[in-house]
């Protein structure tokens, strides 16, 4: 049987009027007719609705959004060598149909082990498809884009299992890798988890450390594993699952003190979970701001000018969007921006611009763009964090402290040599400090 070259079929793009499978953020699936598309979104005709509806790409489930963008915009076709995996391209006899128009279904996936040598099992996305080898009219080994054969959750899982994050630095590393893989929302969630661990003074940070202390006090490995699961659920904000695990572990523990600690922690988690929704939104708002800042720092292609422009124009709107998604806001709910701006905060916090102080105070002392390009991530984060505080927090007082590198002298001395200008403060002698709420 003569067949069309599979590469020619694969090169075809989507067209207007085509029927596609769509999955939304709430995991609802529908078959829709494509009525148009742009770089910002896609217009779909849904069953039972007379007119087509426009959806931004961010309103679709990430994997679905990426698939449709690739199909209709031709984006995402290239990938780094590390994103390739060996797999198979097959055509099954049942996937060939010439009426009313010629159609050949080409399936690509990675091989899944099978006990039956007469069949081949291919994983593609969230599905595993089984083919009889005798019914295949075409089979070839190929190199596949990981995003085509692994779900986004599976790719995230691979990164997490390799990094094994146990603290804020580990989750920061996960976030940076996910940014490099193009999974921005997943990266921001990783950075958000790092912020929970970075702030033990806030309720969630304290409660998470209580879970760690409980795990370390247990003797049985099985119970320790359960508390590890509870820690993961806690970072995912799946509090009912955390409470259920603590209840089961508490019953299995014989030590009275440990059991009491488990009960106390469970009670505090329940109180936090049921506490004022507005209070939780305010805490999460600040955490999302910090996570978005870290996502910008992780992208080394962004210039200082672009990063500063992002803080001015998009930081608050992106934070608002993520808060609405996380808390399931509907039209009748109060505007989360208003909740943030009207927040009641008692404690005063302190932040230093650190090495980036001179950029803010005396940019003429060097080349800010060049400094940004070569600075460590921690210094870049400190600088952007300071800018965000000045624009979205309540700054009570701006002060200064001696430069941590030169001790406020403005120069550093080498043994037996003349002093040279401090490379950290550029001779400014101080670091800029913000006190804010």
Tell me which architecture the domain covering 6-73 has in CATH: Roll (2.30)
Provide the pLDDT confidence category of residue 81 given band limits of 50, 70 and 90.
very low
**Lowest mean pLDDT across 58-72, 246-260, 304-318:** 58-72
Which comes out higher in pLDDT, residue 225 or 101?
225
What is the rounded distance in angstroms from the CA atom of residue 26 to the CA atom of residue 59?
9
**Whose CA is closest to 405, among 383, 428, 381?**
428
Provide the pLDDT confidence category of residue 10 given band limits of 50, 70 and 90.
very low
DSSP 8-state class, residue 236: T
DSSP 8-state class, residue 57: G
Q: Which residues contact 215 (CB under 8 A, 6 or more apart)?
A: 224, 227, 228, 231
SS3 readout for 291-316: HHHHHHHHCCCCCHHHHHHHHHHCHH
Positive or negative, the CA dihedral 67, 72, 75, 79 is positive
Q: For residues 342 and 281, is the Cβ–Cβ distance under 8 A?
A: no
Q: Is 254 helix (H, G, I), strand (E, B) or coil?
A: coil
Per-residue model confidence as pLDDT tens digits over 386-406:
999 999 999 999 999 999 888
**Mean of the per-residue pLDDT values of the chain:** 85
Most confident of 26-35, 69-78, 163-172, 324-333: 163-172
State the maximum Cα–Cα separation within the chain, in Å, rounded to a whole number: 89
Q: Is 12 helix (H, G, I), strand (E, B) or coil?
A: coil
Q: For residues 429 and 408, is the Cβ–Cβ distance under 8 A?
A: yes
SS3 readout for 64-129: HHHHHHHHHHCCCCCCCHHHEEEEEEEEEHHHEECCCCCEECCEEEEEECCCCCCEEEEEECCEEE
What is the rounded distance in angstroms from the CA atom of residue 328 to the CA atom of residue 13?
35
What is the rounded distance in angstroms from the CA atom of residue 238 to the CA atom of residue 352?
34
- Is the pLDDT reported for residue 11 higher than 90? no
Positive or negative, the CA dihedral 207, 209, 213, 215 is positive
| Domain residue ranges of the chain, discontinuous segments joined by + | 6-73, 81-149, 345-437
Q: For residues 146 and 83, is the Cβ–Cβ distance under 8 A?
A: yes
Q: Is 261 exposed, middle or buried (0-12, 13-18, 19+ CB in 10 A)?
A: middle
Per-residue model confidence as pLDDT tens digits over 134-190:
999 999 998 887 766 777 888 888 889 889 898 899 999 999 988 888 888 889 999
Q: Which residues contact 154 (CB under 8 A, 6 or more apart)?
A: none
**Whose CA is closest to 9, among 108, 112, 75?**
108
Alpha helices in 345-431 (DSSP H): 357-361, 368-374, 377-392
Tell me the chain's radius of gyration from C-alpha atoms. 27
| 197 sits in which H/E element | helix 184-198
- Is the pLDDT reported for residue 51 higher than 70? yes
What is the rounded distance in angstroms from the CA atom of residue 272 to the CA atom of residue 206?
11
């Amino acid at each position: 049987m003569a067949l069309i070259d599979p590469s020619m079929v694969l090169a075809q793009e989507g067209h207007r009027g085509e029927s596609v499978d769509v999955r939304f953020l709430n995991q609802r699936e529908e078959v829709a007719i494509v009525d148009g598309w742009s770089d910002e979104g896609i217009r779909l005709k849904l069953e039972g609705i007379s007119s087509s509806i426009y959806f931004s790409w961010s309103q679709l489930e990430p994997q679905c959004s990426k698939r449709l963008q690739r199909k209709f915009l031709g984006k995402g076709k290239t990938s780094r060598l590390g994103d390739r995996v060996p797999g198979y391209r097959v055509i099954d006899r049942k996937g060939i149909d010439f009426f009313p128009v010629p159609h050949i279904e080409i399936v690509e996936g990675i091989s899944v082990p099978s006990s039956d040598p007469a069949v081949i099992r291919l994983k593609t996305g969230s599905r595993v498809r089984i083919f009889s080898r005798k019914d295949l009219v075409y089979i070839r080994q190929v190199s596949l884009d990981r995003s085509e054969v692994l779900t986004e959750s599976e790719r995230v899982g691979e990164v997490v299992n390799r990094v094994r994050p146990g603290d804020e630095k580990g989750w920061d590393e996960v976030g940076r890798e996910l940014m490099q893989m193009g999974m921005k929302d997943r990266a921001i969630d990783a950075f958000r988890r790092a912020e929970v661990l970075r702030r033990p003074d806030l309720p969630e940070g304290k409660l998470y450390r209580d879970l760690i202390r409980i795990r370390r006090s247990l003797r049985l490995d099985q119970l320790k594993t359960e508390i590890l699961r509870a820690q993961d659920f806690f970072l995912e904000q799946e509090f009912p699952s955390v409470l259920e695990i603590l209840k089961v572990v508490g019953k299995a523990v014989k030590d009275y003190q440990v059991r009491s600690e488990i009960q106390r922690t469970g009670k505090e988690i329940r109180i936090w979970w049921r506490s004022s929704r507005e209070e939780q939104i305010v805490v999460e708002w600040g955490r999302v701001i910090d996570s978005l800042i870290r996502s910008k720092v992780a992208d080394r292609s962004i210039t200082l000018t672009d990063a500063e422009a992002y803080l001015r124009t998009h930081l608050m709107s992106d934070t608002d969007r993520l808060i609405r998604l996380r808390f399931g806001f509907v039209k009748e709910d109060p505007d989360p921006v208003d909740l943030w701006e009207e927040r009641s905060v008692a404690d005063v916090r302190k932040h230093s611009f650190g090495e980036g102080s001179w950029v803010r105070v005396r940019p003429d002392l060097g080349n800010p763009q060049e400094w940004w390009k070569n600075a460590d991530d921690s210094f870049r984060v400190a600088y952007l964090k300071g800018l965000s505080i000045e624009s979205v927090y309540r700054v009570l007082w701006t002060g200064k402290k001696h430069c941590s590198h030169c001790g406020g002298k403005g120069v550093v001395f080498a043994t037996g040599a003349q002093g040279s200008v401090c490379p950290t403060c550029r001779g400014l002698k101080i670091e800029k400090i913000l006190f804010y709420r």
